[in-house]
Amino acid sequence: MAEIIVVTSGKGGVGKTTTSASIACGLARRGKKVAVIDFDVGLRNLDLIMGCERRVVYDFINVTQGEATLKQALIKDKRFDTLFVLAASQTRDKDALTKEGVEKVLKDLDADGFDFIVCDSPAGIEKGAFLAMYYADKAIVVVNPEVSSVRDSDRILGLLDSKTRRAEEGKTLVPNLLLTRYNPGRVETGEMLSIKDVEEVLGLKTLGIIPESGDVLNASNKGEPVILDLESPAGQAYDDAVARLLGEDRPMRFTSIEKKGFFSKLFGG
Ligand SMILES: Nc1ncnc2c1ncn2[C@@H]1O[C@H](COP(=O)(O)OP(=O)(O)OP(=O)(O)O)[C@@H](O)[C@H]1O
Ligand SMILES: [Mg+2]
Q: What is the pLDDT of residues 23-38, one digit of tens each?
A: 999 999 999 999 999 9
Tell me: the pLDDT tens digits for 168-220?
A: 999 989 899 999 999 999 999 999 999 999 999 999 989 999 999 999 999 99
Please name the residues in contact with 255: beta carbons below 8 A apart, sequence gap of 6 or more.
Answer: 182, 184, 195, 209
Measuring from atom 18 of ligand 1, which residue has the nearest CA? 15
Which one, of 158, 245, 235, lies nearest residue 206 by Cα? 245
Does the beta carbon of 222 sit less than 6 angstroms from any atom of ligand 1? Answer: no
Question: How far is 138 from 237, CA to CA, in rounded Å?
Answer: 20
pLDDT for res 95 = 83
Alpha helices in the chain (DSSP H): 16-29, 46-50, 60-64, 70-73, 99-111, 127-134, 147-162, 165-168, 184-188, 195-202, 214-222, 233-245, 262-267
Which one, of 90, 114, 89, 129, lies nearest residue 6 by Cα? 129
Which ligand places an atom closest to the C-alpha of 124?
Answer: 1
Instruction: Characterize the bridge pairing of strands 75-76 and 83-86.
Output: antiparallel
- The predicted model gives 240-257 an average pLDDT of 95
Whether residue 60 has pLDDT greater than 60: yes
Contacts by residues 71-78 (CB-CB < 8 Å, ≥ 24 positions apart):
74/35, 75/47, 77/25, 77/28, 77/50, 77/52, 78/51, 78/52
Whether residue 123 has pLDDT greater than 50: yes
pLDDT for res 264 = 63
Question: Which ligand 1 atom lies nearest to the CA of residue 12?
Answer: 25
Distance 9 CA to ligand 2 centre (A): 10
Q: Mean pLDDT across the chain, nearest whole number?
A: 93
Distance 14 CA to ligand 2 centre (A): 8
Supply φ then ψ for residue 66, to 5 degrees. Answer: 75, 15
- For a mutational test of ligand 1's pocket, the pick from 6, 7, 14, 18, i.e. the residue with the most ligand atoms closer than 8 A to its C-beta, is 18
Question: How far is 178 from 32, CA to CA, in rounded Å?
Answer: 21
Question: How far is 237 from 132, CA to CA, in rounded Å?
Answer: 25
Whether residue 104 has pLDDT greater than 80: yes
Whether residue 262 has pLDDT greater than 80: no
pLDDT for res 269 = 45
Does the beta carbon of 13 sit less than 6 angstroms from any atom of ligand 1? Answer: yes
Distance 98 CA to ligand 2 centre (A): 19
pLDDT for res 232 = 97
Question: Which ligand 1 atom lies nearest to the CA of residue 234?
Answer: 1
Q: Are 129 and 141 within 8 A, CB to CB?
A: no
pLDDT for res 263 = 63
Whether residue 116 has pLDDT greater than 90: yes
Which one, of 215, 209, 206, lies nearest residue 192 by Cα? 209
Does the beta carbon of 9 sit less than 6 angstroms from any atom of ligand 1? Answer: yes
- pTM, two decimal places: 0.95
Measuring from atom 3 of ligand 1, which residue has the nearest CA? 212
Strands laid side by side in the 75-76 sheet: 75-76, 83-86, 34-38, 116-120, 3-8, 138-143, 175-182, 205-211
